[in-house]
Amino acid sequence: MTGRRVHRGTAPAAAPPGYGAGLVTQVRADVLSGDTAVTGASLAQAVRASGRLLGAEGALRAVDRVRADLQGLGPLQPLLALPGLTDILVNGPEEVWTDTGQGLQRAGIRFGSDTEVQALASRLIAAGGRRLDDSCPCMDVQLGSYRVHAVLPPVSTGSTLLSIRLRSPRSFPLEALEAGGMLDGVSARVLRDIVAGRLNFLISGATGTGKTTLLSSLLSLSDPAERIVLIEDAAELDPAHPHVVGLQSRHTNVEGAGKVDLPDLVRQAMRMRPDRLIVGECRGAEVRELLAAMNTGHDGAGGTIHANSAATVPARLAALGALAGMSPRALAMQAAGALDAVVHLERSAEGRRVAGISVLTTSTEGGLLALPALSLSSGGMLRREGWERLVMRLEAKGRR
Burial-class residue 364 by CB neighbours within 10 Å (0-12, 13-18, 19+).
exposed
pLDDT on residue 176: 93
SS3 assignment, position 142 = strand
Residue 93 backbone phi and psi in degrees, to 5: -65, -25
Sheet holding 276-282, edge to edge: 244-248, 228-232, 276-282, 302-306, 201-205, 341-348, 351-362, 368-377, 380-383
CA dihedral 264→265→268→273, nearest 10 degrees, is -150
| Contact assessment for residue 234 and residue 248, using Cβ atoms and an 8 Å cutoff | yes
Q: CB-based contacts of 229: which residues, under 8 Å, 6+ apart?
A: 245, 246, 247, 269, 272, 274, 276, 277, 278
**Res 310: pLDDT:** 94
Are 93 and 159 in contact by the 8 Å Cβ rule? The answer is: yes
Instruction: Report how far residue 374's alpha carbon sits from residue 357's, in angstroms, rounded to the nearest whole number.
Output: 5
Torsion of CA 273, 270, 228, 278, to 10 degrees: -170
Tell the burial category of 328 from Cβ atoms under 10 Å away from its Cβ (0-12, 13-18, 19+). Answer: middle
Cα separation, 381 vs 374, in Å, equals: 6
pLDDT at 9: 43
- Tell me the H-state helices in the chain: 21-33, 40-49, 55-71, 114-127, 174-179, 185-196, 211-220, 262-269, 286-294, 313-323, 328-338, 387-396
pTM value?
0.74
- Show pLDDT as tens, one digit a residue, over the chain (400 residues): 344 444 444 434 434 444 455 555 655 555 545 555 445 565 566 656 665 545 555 556 655 555 555 557 888 988 988 988 889 999 999 999 999 877 889 998 999 899 999 989 998 888 777 889 998 899 988 887 788 999 999 999 989 999 999 876 667 899 999 998 999 999 999 999 999 999 999 999 998 899 999 999 999 999 999 999 999 988 889 899 999 999 988 877 666 677 888 999 999 999 999 999 999 999 999 999 999 999 998 999 999 999 999 999 999 999 999 999 999 999 999 999 999 999 999 988 788 899 999 999 998 888 999 999 999 988 889 999 999 999 999 998 766 6
Q: What is the pLDDT of residue 49?
A: 63
Quick one: three-class SS letters along 263-306? HHHHHHHCCCCCCEEEEEEECCCHHHHHHHHHCCCCCCCEEEEE
